[in-house]
Amino acid sequence: MEHHVCPWWMGYFLLNPLRRMRNDPVKILTPHVQEGMKVLEVGPGMGFFTLTIVKLVGKSGRVYCVDVQEKMLASLRKRITKANVADRVELRGCTDTSLRIDDLAGTIDFVLAFAVVHEIPAQENFFRELFGALKSGGSVLMAEPERRVPGEKFRESLLAAKSAGFNAVEIPDIERNHSVLLVKEGKNPASV
């Protein structure tokens, strides 16, 4: 299967305020993100969820946004600067084979991977990296658009997450998305 990454210019469409009617960031994130947390957002694009995450973690929290496309990060950088929260957000470039987050090992409370996992060619490695970055008991909210990702492909991603050591603990109701909440419990089976 050919590897596909959402074109950077689509980021403008993804910021459309009408999207909030179906995928309200506050409703989606409030059960999982609290003040003082360290949150990793994978594939933030131009930041549809980012500013809500920053608000929820508050001044004592920290948000790390990792994206493969510099143009997405450049636009997000402008948005967080305009919102006066750039001091609480760290933007990082990554590759399609590595998130480049080894320095975050064991420090992250929550990961948001919304409509991005299907774009990652090496999902087993992706989930191992997330597992390594999370604190014990930390969680990942993975959501994939039903129109782009068939149920079978979502289940394959879920198997990759489980092989990295994650346990699926909840199926959040996110309209028009396959979704799951994954929790890190114990050590990564590959590192034992």
pLDDT tens-digit series, residues 117-156 = 998 989 999 999 999 999 999 999 999 999 989 999 999 9
pLDDT tens-digit series, residues 20-37 = 557 899 999 999 999 999
Tokens matching residue 25: 């960031």
Task: For the chain, give every domain's residue range.
Answer: 10-15+28-191
One-letter amino acid for residue 133 of the chain: A
Tell me the pTM.
Answer: 0.88
CATH homologous superfamily of domain 10-15+28-191?
A: Vaccinia Virus protein VP39 (3.40.50.150)
Compute the average pLDDT of residues 184-190: 67
Q: Is 117 exposed, middle or buried (0-12, 13-18, 19+ CB in 10 A)?
A: buried
Alpha-carbon distance of 134 to 161, in angstroms, equals: 13
- Nearest Cα to Cα of residue 27 among 188, 190, 169, 179: 179
Q: How much of the chain, in percent, has pLDDT values that exceed 90?
A: 76
Compute the average pLDDT of residues 96-118: 96
